[in-house]
Structure 1
Amino acid sequence: MLVGVSHVGICGTDFHIYEGKHPFLAYPRVMGHEFSGTVLDAAPGVASPGQPVIVNPYLSCGRCIACRNGKANCCVAIEVLGVHRDGAMCEQILVPAENLLPADGLSLVEAATVEFLAVGAHAVRRSMALGGNRALVIGAGPIGLATALFARIAKQNVTIMDVSAERLAFAARQLGFLVIDGSKGRIIEKISERTAGTGFDVVYDATGNSHSMQSAFAYVAHGGVMVMVSVVQDDITFSDPEFHKREMMLIGSRNATRADFEHVIISIRAGKIPVDRLVTHRTTLRDSPGNIALWAHEKSGLIKAMIDVRGRT
C-alpha cells in the first residue's frame, strides 16, 4: 500500500544511526520508523485514498515460532522500517496493508507518536504488575516517560529516576510524577525511604546503560519483577543468590504488538496522553539534516522531536 508520509518522530535509534553507531544496520539507510501518513493508493476494499493511518514499522515473517504464537514483535526474521529497511524520512513509502492502523480521532502528529508510546505500553503489559503496585521507571527519556505514563494508566504508583535534573523536572512538573535524583548517590537509601524498606514491586529500566541495568536488580522487592525495556550490546550480570532470594521475575520487552498500538490509540483519544507536552521540538524534512546533527549533541529541553514531511513546522 502506498502511503504519503505526514509526520516522522525522531528517537534515540535515529541519532545512533546518524552518528554511525547502530550495530545492526547496513548503510546507506533512510531513517524513520515512528510515522503517520495518508493512504495514496490501495487495493479495493482495503483502504480509501486520503485515509489517515498509523504505521506499525515491524515487518514480520508470519511463519516463525514467535509469529505463530502471536508475538510478531519478536519475529525471528523481523525487519524494522528505518533500521533494517529504508524508512519514512521521505515523501512516500510502500507498506504492507497489515501494518497500517486507522488514525481516526487522532491528529497526524499524535499518530506519529503511537509507535514509541506503544513500546512503553508493551513493557507495562509484559510486567504483569497489578494496579496499586509500586513501580520505578529508570530513565526519563521518551521510552521511559512512555512506560511511566502507561504504568500510571494501569494504576501503578509510579516513581521516575534519572540523573538529569532537567528531565526529572519535566517528569515532575509537566507530567506529575514522583521522582528520584540518581545523580547524587544514596540510591538504595532513597529507594528504601520511598518504599518503607521493601523496594519496588516492579522496576522498568529504560536507560540503555548496562551499569544502570545491573544496579536495578537491587531495587526490586522480594517477589517483584524487573522489566528490561532498553537493550545494550554488553553482557548483564547479577547475583544469583540475590535473584533467587527475592524470587524475582526478569522480563525482556521488545518493540510492541498491534494490541499495544490499539491501547495507545484509545488512550490518546481519551486524553490520557499529553502528546502536546511530549513533542518539544519540530522541524521540516528540508531542515531535518541540520537539526538532527544539532539535536544529537544538544538535547537540552528535548523529549520528542517531530519532522513535518509536508513542510509545515
Structure 2
Amino acid sequence: MKAGTYVSPKQVEMTEREIPIPKADEALIKVSYGGICGTDMMIYHGLHPRAEAPLILGHEFSGVVEQVGENQHVKKGDKVAVEPLISCGKCAACRNGQMHVCAKLRYIGIDKDGGFAEYATIPFNRLHVLPESVTEKEAAMLEPLAVAIHTVRRSKLLVGDTVAILGAGPIGLLIGIIAQRAGAGKIFISDVSSMRLQVARKLGLEAIDARDLDIVQVVKEYTNGVGADVVFEVAGSQITANQMIDCIKYQGEIMVVSVYKKPPTIQLAAMHFREISLSTTRCYSPEDFTKAIELLAQNKINLDPLISHILPLEEIKTGFELMENPDQSLKILFQP
C-alpha cells in the first residue's frame, strides 16, 4: 500500500508498506481522507518529543471498514471516524473518566502508525460509525472540531460575551464557529494571513489583520476600554501571550489552547491586579468527539470553507510545503 511517511526532519515521502494485519481487537480501515494538523508540522520539523521515524503520519482521518472480526460494534462497509487518543485506563485521570489527560496518553499517528496511508489498523474502541448524513470528508475534520468544542465547553463563555481569538488557523476558526453557536456576541479574530482572515470574514467573524491593526486596541475601543470577556490564545507566540493579558477585562478568562514550543514570559502581575483567570485545554473528551459528530449529523456546521486543498497522497511533500505558508493553506486533506 501507499503510505505517507515521516523519514527525518523536513523529509516526508510516499513509501510502500505491507497492508497491516489487524489484531483481535482491531479493524482494518480503508482510509478515505486524512488532514495535516499543527502537531504533524511539529513532527515534520523534528520537534515532537515522542514521534520517531519512520512513522506513518496522520491522526485526523476517516475511512471505511475493510476487515473486521465477529461480534464487534463495527462491520465491513461501515463509514467510520477515528478517535486517535489511546489512554492507559489505569492512572488517576483515566479512573475518573478524564482519559484525554491520561498520564500516559498516546496518539495514533504520533506514537504508532496513522492514517496517511491506504489502510490502517485501528482498535474497535477508537472507531465511531458515522451517521448517513456525515461525509467521510467532514469526518476527517472531526478531531479538530472536537478540540474546539472541548475548548469552548471548558471556558466560562456566556451568551452575548465579547470574544477575542488570537490566531486564525483551523483550530482558531473552529473555536469561532463553536463560540457563535454557544451564543457569543462579538467575536474578534486576529492573524497575519490574508487568506485565513478572508475565511474568517466568510464565517461571520470580525477579522483583524495583525499587520495593520492591534487587536487589543480594537477590542478596547469596542468595549469602551473594558476588554473581552473571554480570550482564546491559539497562536503560541510571545506576541499573543502579551496580547491575551492586555486584551482581557477584569475578572475575565483566558483560555490557552496553544502548545508553546518555547516557554513564554507571562505578565502575572497584570493578571493579579485584575483577577484574571487563566485556563488551559488539552485535546478533547470522548463526549466532545461525540458532540462533534452530532453537530455534523444535524447539518449545524459547514466545514468546507476551512479546506484549502485536497491532494493525492503522492503529493505529501507538496502538502507539507504548502502548510509552511499560512497565506497559501488552511486545512489540507490527503485522499489516499
TM-score of the two chains, using structure 2 as the length reference: 0.86
Structure 2, unaligned runs of 5 or more = 1-25
- Does 1:147 find its partner at 2:197? no
Shift of the 194–163 alpha-carbon distance from structure 1 to 2, 3 Å rule, reads farther
For residues 163-209 of structure 1, the C-alpha deviation after alignment (integer angstroms, 9 at most, x for no partner) is 2233212211x211112222235443222112221110100011122
Matching of residues 120-199 of structure 1 within 5 Å: 120-157=148-185, 158-172=187-201, 174-199=202-227
Shift of the 257–308 alpha-carbon distance from structure 1 to 2, 3 Å rule, reads same
- Tell me, in whole angstroms, the C-alpha distance in 1 between the residues paired with 2:285 and 2:54: 28
Shift of the 245–149 alpha-carbon distance from structure 1 to 2, 3 Å rule, reads same
Moved over 6 A (4+): none
Amino acid across the alignment from 2:159: G
In the alignment, which residue of structure 1 is the partner of 2:137?
109
In the alignment, which residue of structure 2 is the partner of 1:83?
110
Matching of residues 39-54 of structure 1 within 5 Å: 39-40=65-66, 41-54=68-81
SS at match of 1:217: helix
Shift of the 224–30 alpha-carbon distance from structure 1 to 2, 3 Å rule, reads same
- Tell me, in whole angstroms, the C-alpha distance in 2 between the residues paired with 1:186 and 1:139: 13
Amino acid across the alignment from 1:169: Q
For residues 203-251 of structure 1, the C-alpha deviation after alignment (integer angstroms, 9 at most, x for no partner) is 0011122331233111111111000111113223323332122222111
SS at match of 1:95: strand
- Tell me, in whole angstroms, the C-alpha distance in 1 between the residues paired with 2:249 and 2:42: 34
In the alignment, which residue of structure 2 is the partner of 1:282?
310
Shift of the 293–142 alpha-carbon distance from structure 1 to 2, 3 Å rule, reads closer
- What value does the CA root-mean-square deviation take over the aligned residues? 1.7
Instruction: State the Cα distance separating 1:293 from its structure 2 match.
Output: 4.1
Give the paired residue count. 307
For residues 100-141 of structure 1, the C-alpha deviation after alignment (integer angstroms, 9 at most, x for no partner) is 112112110011110011111111011132121111111000
Shift of the 226–268 alpha-carbon distance from structure 1 to 2, 3 Å rule, reads same
Identity level (%):
34
Amino acid across the alignment from 1:5: V
In the alignment, which residue of structure 2 is the partner of 1:9?
35
In the alignment, which residue of structure 1 is the partner of 2:124?
97
Q: Are the aligned partners of 1:42 and 1:49 in contact in 2 as well (CA < 8 Å)?
A: no
For residues 57-108 of structure 1, the C-alpha deviation after alignment (integer angstroms, 9 at most, x for no partner) is 1111111111122221111001111112211111222222221112112110
